[in-house]
Amino acid sequence: MRSTVMDGQPLSALCTPAMVVDLDKVKKNAQRMIEKFEKLGVKLRPHMKTHKTIECADIMTGGSRRCIVVSTLGEACFYADHGFDDILYAYSLPFDKVERCAILSERLELFQVLLDHPDALKQLRKRPLKCGRRWHVWLKLDCGNGRAGILHSEPEALRLAQSIAAADGVELTGVYAHCGNTYNCRGVQQIQRVAKDTTTFTMQFMEKLKIFGITCKSSIGSTPSCSHPVQDMVHLTEVHPGNYVFYDVQQSIIGSCSVEDIAVRVLTRIIGHCPHRNQLLIDCGWTGLSLDGAGKLPTGYAVIEGHPDLMLLSMTQEHGKVEPLSGKLDFNMYPLGSLLTLIPYHSCATAAMHPVYHVHSEGVLMGKWKPTRGW
């Protein structure tokens, strides 16, 4: 059934749970990041994985529809179909998707893949591109993040880089490191220490490549490190943050932003009074918020805006239980049907729960953004 909510109406016109995006904050966050790296003289390659929409991608790229990062091939195809180019698929090459990557490489002006294992290079060489095209490959380094990537200090990393550079039909386009270990930081000083270390390890690796006559691009990134860049990052070619366009409670705890910078909320309504449990029941369960952040906030799974005395204690699929941090609830203050506003712990996880984002400016609805889904 078509929604009856029209642009120009207040947020309270929405059916809940609903994810709402503050357009003014999105634009401010995006412009701030653009200006940071224009000042440093480093190319900003924004990551699309948080929002996965055309509208937000246009804001992050300044309307150029060029130079983006994606985390799924589904995103890559979605953006390619909407006129985007210079796309980096920054995910360890999945062997079942090599043919789809080849089609994009042959279709776009510049489509780039990432690998961290010699077997992935073998897969690319088994599928040479047509019309004399070359695979554009980034080598993924682990510089302390501890997720994907070949350890920067291991001799195998240098050997793999040499193999990529020497392979027929393949070009070593760049070296890529995700400093996701900034997510363990608290405060700007710790964030910048990780950013400096990641930059140093990456540039040391680049110097090793030069000894063998190999030159290519370098890129590091995470929202915390790029929100507070260190001067050493001027030596990089690119950076690739993503969450900054929305931010979230997690980022505010780390020190990437203030709560006022967070551009997303989830609206929910009170649907039950439970005096015997001293609880309110709301219509937002984990399908409207996600379970990310469990045990990490004194207020439960989210911050309930304007109600620092309340916590989102638990969630089932479609229900949430809210109770006071201490004392007894005054249920007269929370009539059935009234709205509560949740600030999510992790906006990427929350956005993944919603098929549409309701965009507003100063509480007035401006339209909808529909993200792509799938892998």
Q: Give the pLDDT score at 81.
A: 98
> What's the pLDDT at 6?
76
Say what the pLDDT of residue 1 is.
34
pLDDT digits (tens, 9 = 90+) for 39-79: 999 999 999 999 999 999 999 999 999 999 999 999 999 99
**Amino acid 149: pLDDT:** 96
Please state the pTM of the whole predicted model: 0.95
Quote the percentage of the chain above a pLDDT of 70: 99
Query: What is the Cα–Cα distance from 329 to 274, expressed in whole angstroms?
Result: 10
Residue 5 pLDDT: 64
**Which residues of the chain have a pLDDT value below 70?**
1-5
pLDDT for 127 equals: 98
Q: Give residue 4's pLDDT.
A: 56
Rounded CA-CA distance 156/154 in Å is 5
Mind listing the pLDDT tens digit for each residue in 7-48? 899 999 999 999 999 999 999 999 999 999 999 999 999 999
Torsion, Cα of 123, 129, 134, 136 (10° steps): -50
Give the chain's domains with CATH numbers: 47-241 (3.20.20.10), 259-369 (2.40.37.20)
Report yes or no: 177 and 142 within 8 Å, Cβ to Cβ: yes
Give the ranges where 61-153 is alpha helix by DSSP (H): 73-81, 98-107, 118-126
Strand partners, 320: 282, 315
- pLDDT at residue number 86: 98
pLDDT at 7: 86
